[in-house]
Structure 1
Amino acid sequence: MESRVNFTVIGTQKGGTQALNQFLKAHPEIGMVTPPVIAPHFFDNEKIFSDIPDYEVYHRMYSEKSLAMLTGDVTPIYSYWPNAVARIKAYNPDMKIIFLLRDPVLRTYSHWNMEYSRGDEKLGFLKAILTENRRRAGGAHRIYSYLHRSLYAPQVVNLLEYFERKQCLFIKSDELQRSHVEVMSRIFSFLDVDSTIIPEQQSVHARHYPQMPSWLNFTLRLYFQRDIVSVEQLTGLDLKAWRLI
């Protein structure tokens, strides 16, 4: 089996990945999944990996034209889901990885707002995060992982256990919004496609929520402080805007 998908965006949910997906699709040298599929969710599919995985199932999500190009997969849960990164490595050891990171406090709150608006979450925000550990029963959970999924350091450590640093690009989602041209040029250079072709900036699925109480924002920043410092050390990103000090 010849590896066909060349890169993946593995993080993070509610971190601007849908916008990045649109920008990647707009580049003439990049092939993405065939609509209506948005995120392949191949490497986090436990049914597929209950036996020897059939990679043709994966490839059928793409057109022949897309597979003949530089081919990408945007599935943010890969960074968080157990064994997903190891499975990506087994599929294509040369895969390039883009990890999009958002302020963990904002990501946590946005994640809860999404699940609550869908009706998959019935609890208020404070009660939801206070009961999260019990509800996810210690492991990964697709819904009840507001805080757990926002702890990026273990995810970055796991990624770097399987892929060389030069295969990984870490981007802050607010930087993608604030410096669109510069960041997209950096991403395209990393992917070895024409970095002078910059898709027009657009807002994708932007939502506005009631502001979090300041005391809760402070408490969550205190909770994430140590993890943020670790992520800075692991990635070289400047995350002082996320920290208390």
Structure 2
Amino acid sequence: MSDNSKSLFPDFLLIGAGKSGTTSLHNYLDQHPEIYMSKIKEPYFFALEGEEIVSREDDPLNLYDFPWAVTDLEEYQKLFEPADPSQKKGESSTMYLYGDKAPSNIKKYIPDVKIIAIFRKPSERLYSRYLHLAREDNLMGTTFDKVLDKESIWWLRNDLVREGFYYKHLSRYYELFDKSQIKVFLYDDLRSDPERVIKELYSFVDVDPDFNPDTSIRFNQSGFVKNKILDKLYGTDSLLFKSIKSVVPGMYSKLKENLIIQKQLNKLRGKNLEKPGIDQEIEKTLTHDIYYEDTKKFQELIGRDLSHWFK
């Protein structure tokens, strides 16, 4: 591989877990002037290299619904061409946490890469995923109580129940990469002390840790849509933004990157979401029956006391 080709790979990867603060970390990284983040969030290259993208018509259960994925090496490297030579390059793909091919492909192409992961109590993460699917009107007729049915879609799709087996997924990275290349955060820390997390994040990727990003935006909120008409107007999948993206893609990109606009949009979207609490019996079953053994090993792997996750 030529030096020029090497320069078109990311210096760091944010690998997940989904619904654990990954979107927030991605945006804090993206705001830093010394960092260039791929404009396609979640290109999934290392998990899906060489695979054909399945159409939605051929995938009724949304098992392979990744129309934005970049599966060709040359196209993937083009994602980083706009970066300034002095900038650190990165991308975020939650599928790298659980994708079968991801760790070995990453090791093959960028063995010195830095790997960032953030984790949330598995039952909370799963319920947040449920609310996210509800927001997208993508529940496929299922309800949250079905998470306990191992024959259901909740166990068939890798990004639902199975994503929460953190030890199983992350231990593969510790086997392939030096421990110094892996930085693990907890969602709890991001909520209680975001300034410390952000400084550690910037220090880990070797950029100025004293840069202060805008942390006032609540990214990627989830819940049941209250008013579908308002959602079609300014929701995440609104017809207005779809039209702008198709007709004036440059304007759409500027809207996405404008923090003031994003802040106002997220406020409006949040007010239009209803977030019922998780059923406590289901939560207990998930925590103590389904995720318990994996979580015990996970806390040893990362050297953190996670006893509060068992309460």
Q: TM-score, normalised by structure 1?
A: 0.87
Aligned-residue Cα RMSD (Å) equals: 2.2
Kindly tell me: are residues 101 and 25 of structure 1, through their superposed partners in 2, closer, same or farther at Cα, counting changes over 3 Å?
Answer: same
Indicate if the aligned counterparts of 1:100 and 1:173 stay in contact, CA closer than 8 A. Answer: yes
Change (3 A) 1:69 1:238: same
Q: Within 2, Cα distance between the matches of 1:207 and 1:135?
A: 20
- Alignment match of 2:278 (pick from 204, 212, 227): 212
Q: Structure 1 residues 109, 136: closer, same or farther in 2, change over 3 A?
A: closer
Aligned to 1:113: 131
SS, match of residue 24 in structure 1? helix
Paired position in structure 1 for 2:57:
none
Paired position in structure 2 for 1:230: 297
Q: Is the 8 A contact 1:21 1:74 kept in 2?
A: yes
What residue in structure 2 maps to residue 184 of structure 1?
198
Give the aligned residue type for 1:149. E
Does residue 105 of structure 2 align to residue 100 of structure 1?
A: no
1:188-233 per-position Cα deviation (integer Å, ceiling 9, x unaligned): 1111111111212131122352111222222211122222111110
- Relative distance call for 1:213 and 1:29 in structure 2 (3 A) is same
> Secondary structure at 2:198's aligned position in 1?
helix
One of 5, 23, 34 as aligned partner of 2:10: 5
Shifted more, 94-103 versus 217-226: the winner is: 217-226
User: Which of 123, 127, 140 is 2:142 aligned to?
Assistant: 123
Greater RCO between the two (CA within 8 Å, min separation 6)? 1
Greater Rg, structure 1 or structure 2? 2
Following TM superposition, by how much is the alpha carbon of 1:118 offset from its aligned partner in structure 2, in angstroms?
2.5
Query: Following the alignment from structure 2 to structure 1, what is the Cα–Cα distance between the partners of residues 153 and 222?
Result: 26
Q: Does 1:152 align with 2:166?
A: yes
1:40 offset after TM fit, Å?
1.8
Give the conservation status (yes or no) of the 8 Å contact 1:176–1:183.
yes
Question: Percent same amino acid among aligned pairs?
Answer: 27
Measured against aligned partners, the alpha-carbon deviations of 1:135-182 in whole angstroms (never above 9, x if no partner) come to: 4787xx35xx42211110101111111111110001001211221111
Which of 33, 39, 44 is matched with 1:41 structurally?
44
Aligned partner of 1:161 in structure 2 is 175
Equivalent positions of 1:22-37 (< 5 A) are: 22-34=27-39, 37=40
Code of the residue aligned with 2:188 in structure 1: it is: D
Measured in 1, the distance between the counterparts of 2:215 and 2:207 equals 18
Of the structure 1 ranges 199-208 and 72-81, higher mean CA displacement relative to structure 2 is found in 199-208
Larger displacement relative to structure 2 (167-176 or 193-202): 193-202
Partner of 1:205: helix, strand, or coil?
coil
Structure 1 unmatched runs, 5+? none
Structure 2, unaligned stretches of length 5 or more? 54-70, 224-274
Q: Secondary structure at the match of 2:215?
A: coil
